[in-house]
Chains A and B, each alone.
Chain A
Amino acid sequence: MESLNSREGLFERIHWLIKLRWIAVVGVFLSVFFAVNVLKIPVPDIPLYTIALILGVYNLASLVHVNRSRANFPALANRIANTQISIDLFILASLVHFSGGIENPFIFYFIFHMIIASILLSRLAAFLQATLSVFLFSIVVASEYLGILPHYCLVGFVSSDLRNNAIHISGIAFVFVSTLYIAVYMATSISKRLREREASLKEVNTQLIQKDRIKSEYVLRVSHDIKEHLAAIQSCIEPVTGGITGQLNERQMNLLERADERAGKLMFFVKALLEVTRIKLSREIRMACFDFGDTLQDAINDVTPKAKNKNISIASSVEGTIHEIRGAREYIHEVITNLLANSIKYTPRNGKISVIVSDKGNSILIEIKDTGIGIPRAELPKVFDEFYRASNAREIEKDGTGLGLSIAKQVVERHNGKIWVESEEGKGTTFFITLPK
C-alpha cells in the first residue's frame, strides 16, 4: 500500500474511519427519530436504536483498540481496516433489514463503505468488501422475499405491493450491485493514480533534498575558502593599523581601517553562513540534559551590557517546575542569545524585554517579548528565511546577515521544537519557542 506506508498516515486514516462512524451513529438516531416521529413510518425503532447503540459501543472499542495497537501499526493497519469495514457492513445490513430492506433508499449507503475501502485497502480487498456487501444485501432481500426473515414495510413511504414485485426487486438489486462494483472500480482507479503520483512526488522530493545537500556542501566549501583568505587579509592588516610596522599618516590609516572594517563585516557574514550550512549538513546534534534556567541566565548575562547601553530592561521568569531539559546546550544558549540580541537591536532606548518560560508538560514554551519596532505583517512569514531581513530592520541597521533567525529555526527544529513569531509594527515582537523536555 504505497500511500499507506507511514505509521502516522495509517493511524490518521483509521481515525478518520472512526470519526465517520460517529457521524453514522448520530445519523441513524436522527433518521429513525425523524422517520418514526415526523414521517410517522412504523419502523421498529427499538431494534434500530439498539443497533445504533451497538455501533456506538463498537466504535468506542475500535478507538481504544486502535490507540493501543499504534506501536504495531504498519503491520496491523490493513487487518484493522478490513475487519472494521466488514463489521460495518454487517451492521449496515442489519439496519437495512429492520428499516424496510430493499424498500429503504439508505441501501445505497453501502457505496460509502466501498469508497472508504477503495481508499484504505488494496484493490482486491475493496472488491472483496463489495462482494461481501452484495452477499449480505442478497441474504436480507432474499430472506425477506422468501419469508425466512420478517419484512418491515415502510408504510407511507413506498407502495406495499412493491416488495412482492420480483421484477422491481431484481431491478433495484441489479442497479445496487452494479453501482457498488462500478464505485469500487472508479474509486480504486483514482486512488491508484493518486498513490502513484504520491510515490513520484516523494521520489522528486528525495532528489530535491539530495540536491539541496550538494548545494550546501558547495556553500560550505566556498565559504570556508573565502574565510581562509579573509583571515589572512585581516591578519596582515591588523599589525599595520596597530602601528607595529611603523607610524602611518592619517589618510593611510583611514583607508586601511576601512579595508579592515569591510573585511570584518565579510568575515562575520561568512562565519554565519558557515554555521547555518554546518547545522543543515550535520545529520545529528549531540544532546544531553542541562539546566534550562542557568542557560537562560547565561544568555541574559551575555547581552546585558548591550541592553544597558540603551537602557533596556530585561525581565525573566521560569516556571518552578522546569529544571533540566534534553538538548544541545550551546546551541540553545546561542539561539536565545541571538533572539535577545535581536530584540535589543530593534528596540528603542528605554524599552523592555521579557522572557517567560512556562511548563507545558512534555515541553517548555519560551516567549521572548520586546517593545521594539516590530515586523511588518506582510513580512512575518519570511523572517525565518535565509538572508531575509525585514524592511524596517534594514533601515535601522544596514549590515546584518539575515541568518540569525534561520539558524534559530534550524536549531529548534533539530530539537523537534517549533519557533514562531507574533508582531505588531511599532508595538513590539514576541518570539515563541517550544522545546521538548
Chain B
Amino acid sequence: MSNQPKILIIDDDPDIVEAMKVVLESKKYQVATAKSGKEGLKKVKQEKPNLIILDVMMETQSKGFDVARAIKGDEDTKNTPILMLTAVKENTGLDFKKEAGDDVWLPVDAYLDKPLKPDELISKVELLLGKS
C-alpha cells in the first residue's frame, strides 16, 4: 500500500479520465475513477480519497454541482477538497469570464479548465493536497 495521496476522478469522458490518470500516476498518486455522479458518490465513501476531481457536466448539465454539494454536505467527506473541471471560465480572449460572486454558492475549492494542461493539473492538485 502506497502512502501517496489518493485522488478520485469523477468524469463521464473516458479519454479525459485516462489522460488525467496518466498525468497523476506519473507523479505517483493513487488514482481511482468513477464515470458518473452516482458512482462517484459511492466511491467517495469506499475509497476515502484525499482529493476529488469532479467534472461539471455529466448526466446533466450541472450534475457535478449536485455531487459537490452532496460531498460537502456529508460529515465524513466535507473536508475532502474538490477540484472542479469546468468549461465556464475560458481564455480565448474573445469570451467572457463569469461574473464575480458566481462562485460563492459553489462548494468547490478550485477550478480547472478543459482541455487539461498537465502542469496546471499537477500544481492545482499539489496546492489542494497541501491545504488539506
Chain A residues near B (Cβ < 8 Å): 227-228, 230-236, 238-239, 242, 244-245, 267-268, 271-272, 274-275, 286, 328-331, 334, 337-338, 341, 401, 403-404, 407
Say if the beta carbon of B99 comes within 8 Å of chain A: yes
Task: Give the distance in Å from the alpha carbon of A268 to the alpha carbon of B92 in the complex.
Answer: 6
Interface residues of B (CB under 8 A from A): 13, 15-16, 18-20, 22-23, 26, 87, 90, 92-99, 114-119
B96's partner among A231, A232, A267, A331 (CB-CB below 8 A) is A331
Interface centre among A231, A234, A267, A404 (most CB of B within 10 A): A231
Contact among B13, B20, B99, B115 with A286 in the assembled complex (CB-CB below 8 Å): B99
Kindly list chain B residues whose C-beta atoms are within 8 Å of the C-beta of A233: 15, 115
Q: Dominant SS at the A interface?
A: helix
A-B contacts, 21 listed (Cβ < 8 Å): A231-B87, A231-B114, A231-B116, A232-B19, A234-B115, A235-B116, A238-B115, A238-B116, A239-B19, A242-B119, A245-B22, A245-B26, A267-B115, A271-B90, A274-B95, A275-B92, A275-B94, A330-B96, A330-B99, A338-B94, A407-B94
Known A228-B13, A235-B116, A330-B99: A271·B23 in contact at CB below 8 Å: no
When the two chains form the complex, which single residue of B20, B96, B99 contacts A235, counting CB atoms closer than 8 Å? B20
Among A238, A274, A330, A338, the most chain B Cβ lie within 10 Å of the Cβ of: A238
Interchain residue pairs A-B with the least CB separation, the first 3: A234-B115, A231-B114, A232-B15
Q: For B95, give its contact among A236, A242, A329, A334 (CB under 8 Å).
A: A334
**A230-B115, A244-B22, A244-B26 given as contacts; is B92 within 8 A of A235 (CB)?**
no
Contact indicator B19/A272 (Cβ below 8 Å)? no
Q: How far is the CB of A209 from chain B (nearest CB, A)?
A: 24
Cα(A88)–Cα(B118), bound, Å: 81
Contacts of A242 in B (CB 8 A): 118-119
Q: With a CB–CB cut-off of 8 A, which chain A residues contact B92?
A: 268, 271-272, 275
Interface centre among A244, A274, A401, A403 (most CB of B within 10 A): A244
